[in-house]
């Protein structure tokens, strides 16, 4: 199970975004949160900015759409060149159709769940997606503390993926740091979104390397 580190630009300096993207060239992906101030109480950036990020980012772009009506808007992010487009189960009207459209457009399709949304109703959808995002904070704002109450859900998600024999990534987003990444990895996550833990560090590349090493160690311990 490969470890994927995806720093979130929500914690970056938006006035110097191209420079901030260059700081995380050692990462596997860059996580871009799109919020519409309706699905979540915050407003970030939209498709035109994501298009520019795709052009200058040194790594593939991992978009997380915290928006209403993703059925309408999500395909545009795949068309813009995002490598991965994740939409929320709570917002999508036709998640299977949307996931298939994202894949047809060449993006990995991700399905996100709020902390209180259970995994079980979506297990049958796993063959239709490439990644399941288990939110480890309430979506909307960066800098929140990791919710340990989500660890059993991460375990259930990983178990469901393994029992189905699928290559579906399990992503965690929220409060991921050197203090929490091992717990998430031990529970079965393999994709880690970290904002302030990376962008708040003097050495972003070093912080990325530390997260990757800690997660890989937890995976090795888990597989024994």
What is the CB-side half-sphere exposure of residue 159 using CA atoms within 13 A? Answer: 9
- Token pair 């090795």 is found at 220
- Cα 70 from Cα 141, distance rounded (Å): 19
The residues, any chain, with a CB within 8 Å of residue 56's CB and separated by 6 or more, are 18, 21
* Spatial contact of 24 and 208, defined as CB atoms under 8 Å apart: yes
- Enzyme catalytic residues: 33, 173
Give the Cβ contact number of residue 128 at 10 Å. Answer: 18
């Amino acid at each position: 199970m490969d470890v994927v580190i995806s720093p979130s630009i929500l914690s970056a300096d938006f006035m110097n975004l191209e420079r901030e993207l260059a700081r995380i060239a050692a990462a596997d992906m860059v996580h871009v949160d799109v919020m519409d101030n309706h699905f979540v109480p915050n407003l970030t950036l939209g498709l035109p900015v994501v298009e520019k990020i795709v052009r200058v980012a040194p790594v593939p772009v991992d978009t997380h759409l915290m928006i209403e009506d993703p059925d309408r808007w999500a395909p545009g992010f795949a068309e813009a060149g995002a490598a991965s487009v994740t939409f929320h189960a709570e917002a999508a009207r036709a998640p299977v159709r949307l996931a298939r459209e994202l894949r047809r457009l060449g993006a990995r399709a991700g399905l996100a769940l709020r902390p209180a949304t259970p995994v079980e109703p979506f297990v049958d959808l796993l063959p239709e997606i490439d990644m399941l995002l288990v939110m480890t904070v309430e979506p909307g704002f960066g800098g929140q503390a990791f919710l340990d109450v989500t660890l059993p859900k991460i375990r259930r998600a990983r178990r469901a993926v393994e029992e189905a024999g699928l290559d579906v990534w399990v992503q965690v987003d929220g409060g991921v740091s050197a203090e929490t990444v091992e717990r998430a990895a031990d529970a079965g996550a393999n994709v880690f979104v970290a904002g302030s833990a990376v962008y708040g560090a003097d050495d972003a590349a070093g912080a990325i390397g530390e997260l990757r090493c800690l997660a890989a160690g937890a995976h090795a311990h888990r597989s024994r």
